[in-house]
Amino acid sequence: MEHDQLLLDAIECARLAGKIQLQHFRTANLNATAKLNDSDIVTVADKLSEAAIIGYVHEHYPEHSILSEESGSDRRESEYEWVIDPVDGTTNYNAGLPMHCVSIGIRHRGVTVVGVVLAPYLNELFHAVRGEGAYLNGNRITVTANTDIHKAVVSTGFPVDKDVNPDNNMDNVARVLPLVRGLRRLGSAAVDISYVAAGILDAYWEMNLHEWDVCAGLLIAEEAGARVVHFRDDRNVSVLVGAPAIVDQIDPLLSRTPGR
């Protein structure tokens, strides 16, 4: 199957979902409800966006499987799998903050071949096809050339169980924060990773993420020259991504086990 055609269809799906999100953004009818706890919520825009994407995939690629944040996996046997986060950064979205996005990755036999991240309010579309580079609004992007951690602006995030689990990334923050120019918490893993790809951020790390958070973004970052390190295997997806020289300096600072 032509991956370039898959890209066009993934972009169309992202734009459909982005339009829905803009229609509901900063309105009073989001109907936010908690999932795991008050730090993990879902809104009507998540559900409508997901339905639009899944409906498109079922119509155009009925044989493809889907893994999506709100609906899980359809367990369909297929060489192709769409990995979807209909609204990455739902807490931001619900609060009226613009840092949220649609994230769509497409895997072929387990390898991500297409990645699309659309931040609709910011009108920023990131995309990549494996082996063809990474792009922001049609322009080629690459990671920063910065090699000095003291001049680096990096971002991170915190797991949704941060209130009950002391293994919550604060130890890593304490080690990294004094060494960098700035530390940010943007609230959307897919945006964070895409900003690394564009050279806006020098690096990003977070633990206890899920495949739908990172599938598209990691391909975009890799195609832009980023280095990716999975620094934990006991907290779902725990990933460090950035300019290679900055990753080399942050990597030794991150905990491999709880309470290091």
pTM exceeds 0.85 for this model: yes
Average pLDDT over residues 182-189: 98
User: What is the CATH classification number for the domain harbouring 161?
Assistant: 3.40.190.80
241 token code pair: 């991504």
User: Is a pLDDT exceeding 60 seen at residue 260?
Assistant: no
Query: CA-to-CA distance for 95 and 134, rounded, in angstroms?
Result: 30
What is the tens place of the pLDDT at every residue in 234-255? Answer: 999 999 999 999 999 999 999 9
- Cα distance between residue 252 and residue 179, in whole Å: 13
Do both 53 and 124 map to the same domain? yes
Cβ pair 103, 165 in contact under 8 A = no
Last residue of a domain, one of 141, 176, 208: 141
Residues 197, 157 within the same domain: yes
CA distance 34 to 6: 33
Q: Are residues 11 and 84 in the same domain?
A: yes
Greatest C-alpha distance within the chain: 51
Q: What is the pLDDT of residues 34-91, one digit of tens each?
A: 766 666 678 999 999 999 999 999 999 999 999 997 777 777 789 999 999 999 999 9
For residue 26, the tally of other CB atoms under 10 A from its CB is 13
Q: What pLDDT is stored for residue 89 in this prediction?
A: 96
Q: Work out the average pLDDT over 154-172.
A: 94
- Residue 16, classified by CB atoms within 10 Å of its CB into exposed (0-12), middle (13-18) or buried (19+), is middle
SS3 192: helix
Verify that 121 and 13 share a domain, yes or no.
yes
Secondary element (H or E) of residue 129:
strand 124-129
- Whether 31 is in a domain gets the answer yes
pLDDT of residue 41: 73
Mean pLDDT of the chain: 94
Which residues span the domain enclosing 8?
Answer: 3-141
Q: What integer pLDDT is reported at residue 76 of this predicted model? A: 79
Query: Which of the listed residues 141, 169, 194 is the one where a domain comes to its end?
Result: 141
Q: Give the pLDDT band (50/70/90) at residue 259.
A: low
Same domain assignment for residues 72 and 199: no
Taking only Cα atoms into account, the Rg of the chain, rounded to an integer number of angstroms, comes to 17
Same-domain status, 154 and 243: yes
Q: Calculate the alpha carbon distances from 180 to 101, 148, 152, 155, 159 in Å.
A: 26, 9, 5, 10, 22
Residue-wise pLDDT tens digits, 115-136: 999 999 999 999 999 999 999 9
Could you say which of 92, 125, 141 is where a domain stops? 141
